[in-house]
Chain A
Amino acid sequence: MIMSEGSMAVVKPEMKSYIWLQTTDGSIQQVEEEVAMFCPMICREVLQTGTGSSKNYAIKLPQRVNPAILGVILDYCRFHQVPGRSNKERKTFDEKFVRLDTKQLCELTSAADSLQLRPLVDLTSRALARMIEGKTPEEIRETFHLPDDLTEEEKLEPLRNMTDDPRIRLLNRLYARKRKELKEREKLKVNVEVEEESVDERSVDDLLSFINGGDEDSKGVRAPKSKKKNRRRKDQTGDSSSNNGDGSHKKDIDSPHTACQNGSVDDVSGPSKTSKFQDSASTTFPSKSDFDDGDIDDELDPAMKEELDREVEDFARRLNSVWPERMQEIPSLGQERRVLPVSVNGNGSLERYT
């Protein structure tokens, strides 16, 4: 066990002092004093309670320290407690030291934390952080074997699932998607009606031009600038380069009249600024097409509307069932939360949660 420099070699074994450590499984180890004292927790125990001087009075280590990981930690201490090492040497050692798998790294972080060995905690935490950085949630889950227990809608836009309005937006998106599908079905039947459509949305454009050969239909699609202006009006910053979805989001909420009460929904959606948040992670989210459809839903016949509403209601109920637990998890989410909790009543209307 003597790993010391040349000068120490002449010291007789019985002259060296040892500290006795006991791990939770009952096993007791004896460790060179200067190595063990490198851990603040052990140091404190020795100085304050006088334990550790013999096998019978071994220092009881915290539960998170098992014998194997203790060995690793002691290797670390053994290297770093030698005063003469250069910074470069220490750095090189550290870099090699943290080449461990995730399981060991986590154990090591936990154990080092319970021994209050701050430099090692920082070293392993940084290593873990490096393993998280730059990865997608799926990749991180794979690396660390995390359970995949979030619902699909919660995973849809990771960066946005921080408040509760995404649920509402999700609802609306579902509306819009459904509406679009129904509309397209209609359009396939009746070409003439297309000219009256106000959609100047690209994906719908593409779809129509593909179907209709891109002649008068596409023109019809491009024509209604007025609708576009409506949307812009709602857009607070007036930034025309941002997604079309901004203002139309508000319109979207207003449109399914039978299903929502305007007042509460407005509260829920917050300022139209929040709608931009949704658009931001647009890589995963087909934003544009959905919102524009909000303009034309009054052209759907009531039957289809009903069908839509029923679907949305189902979905909302599903969401709502998870809602109460969620509420308990978040005692306070920041100081300026403007989103008020919402529940969906039995009749399908959204009301403020009380």
Chain B
Amino acid sequence: MASSSKPPNQLPDEDRLSNLPDSLICHILSFLPTKCAVITSALSTKWRYQWTSVANLVFCDKFTVNYSSDLFENFVDRVLMLRKRSNIDSFTLACINTHDPPRVNTWITAAAMFGVRELRLSSAMRGVVLPHNVFYSRALVALTLGPGIVLDVIPTSACLPSLKVLHLEVVEFRNVDTTWKLFNACPVLEDLVIRRETTDNAKCFNVCAPALKRLTMKMYDESRPDEYWRTPVAAPDISDYTCVIDCPTLEHLDITDYTSVSYAASDMPLIVKAEIDTPQQGEATAALLRPIADVKLLTISDATLRKNGDLIDLPTFSNLTKLELRLLDDFSDWTWLLDMLRRTPVLQGLVIDSGCVSRDIIHDTCQEREPSCLLSHLETFELRQFKRGEDEMELLRYILRSAKVLKEMTIESWDIEKATKVLEELLGLPRCSRACRVVFS
């Protein structure tokens, strides 16, 4: 086993790596998947047991050659048995193959027993039930449960006093009360990310978290086609899913929900940023938007704001300074937009993402009284995915005409040729605000 050959008159290269202090070697090894860290035990005598001090365990059963489930299972067993340290900082288990369920269960139990602080589990094999002792883990700070994990019975006395971050990605909720029991056990939870793709037993998704700051919910329905809300007759309400959001300290809300038909939400006075995509839910969306009326930054799609063509019953967003609208739907005029802008009295920045659809807008429909924000507050306007459609031109003309304090209008377009033509045209338009710059990007 030769090291690289050197010219004879050179000093042998020094082994600087092994001379680093053990704590540093351990730190370096902690950035490796556990498989690679263990390989270092074959390097030299000094390295035989360095890996046993590493507190981060990352197990992934992706093998390129010579796979057998025994291989992986035995490896995990041995690592857990032979470590020098009795605590585990972070434990990641990602399985794309089938494994013996009791053994997988044992590993997770062991991780919890060893005081794991960050636990990440995912399994392509469906039906890995989380062992009970995880729900009593005092040290757990971050828990990420990926696809394939099942939350079955959660003990009523479950308590996760340190849990701050919880990610549930396509986790199966087996019982009706699973959700509220789970969140009930996390008094200091700050960050919650939920992604659901199937309709499971949790008909009422109950997020009750007194300390929650960030909530992201992506709820899709496999049985519905993409963009189902585009059809003239909205898809029949086949689901009876409801969602309860009781998070009084919430600052950031991000909801994409194609399943729930009704919402109940507590007031959220601290809300700063919200992204809402709940198309064609009508009153349900209104019920969701009312508690976040104090939001400062809002990203929302037109399909969410309208039901069957009409603007839903919106509150006044008295603190909203930046609004980003995604245009996904078809519509024939911009009145709904003006109505929307009437509810945002202090809006300073407006971004419209024009999307892929070109619409036939009846010319000069924007004759009504301008929203007050256009007159007194709007400073920046941005149009994305500009296609030089008549609908967009109409809008641009209107904005330029009405926004009194507009400082900058940005138009994002991929087509430079079109852009230059439009720029010329726009520069020639009557403008309300003198200081306005038109920028293309």
List residues of chain A with CB under 8 Å of any chain B CB. 102-103, 106-107, 109-110, 113, 121, 125-126, 128-130, 132-138, 140-142, 144-150, 154-155, 158-159, 161-163, 237, 239, 241-242, 273, 276-277, 279-283, 329-330, 332-337
Contacts and interface: CB of A to CB of B under 8 A. Distances in A.
B155 interface: no
Contact of B81 (A128, A134, A144, A335): A335
Contacts of B71: 280-281
A49 B210 CA distance: 46
8 contacts: A125-B31, A126-B31, A133-B32, A141-B44, A147-B15, A158-B39, A273-B77, A280-B70
Contacts of B52: 333-334
Contact of A329 (B15, B29, B33, B48): B48
Contacts of B68: 241-242, 280
B81 A102 contact: no
A335 B28 CA distance: 24
Given A283-B65, A334-B81, A337-B81, A146 B28 contact: no
Given A113-B21, A329-B49, A280 B1 contact: no
B18 to A, nearest CB: 6
A332 B82 CA distance: 9
A133 B80 CA distance: 21
Contact of B82 (A107, A140, A337): A337
Contacts of B15: 144-147
Given A110-B24, A162-B78, A329-B48, A133 B14 contact: no
B43 A140 contact: yes
Contacts of A137: 39-40, 42-43
B43 A141 contact: yes
Contacts of A109: 20, 24, 28
B24 A132 contact: no
B3 interface: yes
B49 A330 contact: yes
Nearest to B13: A145
A252 B82 CA distance: 25
B440 interface: no
B429 interface: no
B3 A145 contact: yes
Interface in B290-335: none
Q: Which 6 A-B pairs have the closest CB atoms?
A: A158-B42, A129-B31, A106-B16, A145-B13, A137-B42, A280-B71
A106 B17 contact: yes
A159 B1 contact: no
Contact of B33 (A133, A239, A241, A242): A133
A241 B100 CA distance: 14
A235 to B, nearest CB: 10
Contacts of B23: 113
B126 interface: no
Interface string B1-36: 101100000001111111111011001110111001
Given A132-B40, A141-B44, A146-B44, A162 B82 contact: yes
A239 B70 contact: yes
A338 to B, nearest CB: 8
Contact of A276 (B27, B45, B74): B74
Contacts of A136: 39
B82 A138 contact: no
B16 A113 contact: no
B39 A129 contact: no
Contacts of B14: 103, 145
A103 B3 contact: no
Given A110-B16, A277-B75, A279-B70, 12 more contacts: A133-B32, A145-B13, A146-B3, A147-B18, A147-B44, A148-B44, A149-B45, A162-B41, A329-B48, A333-B52, A335-B81, A335-B86
Contacts of A329: 48-49
A333 B28 contact: no
B84 interface: yes
Nearest to B71: A280
A146 B18 contact: yes
A277 B82 CA distance: 13
A155 B21 contact: no
A141 B33 CA distance: 19
Contacts of B49: 329-330, 333
Contacts of B27: 121, 125
Nearest to A128: B28
Nearest to B26: A125
B218 interface: no
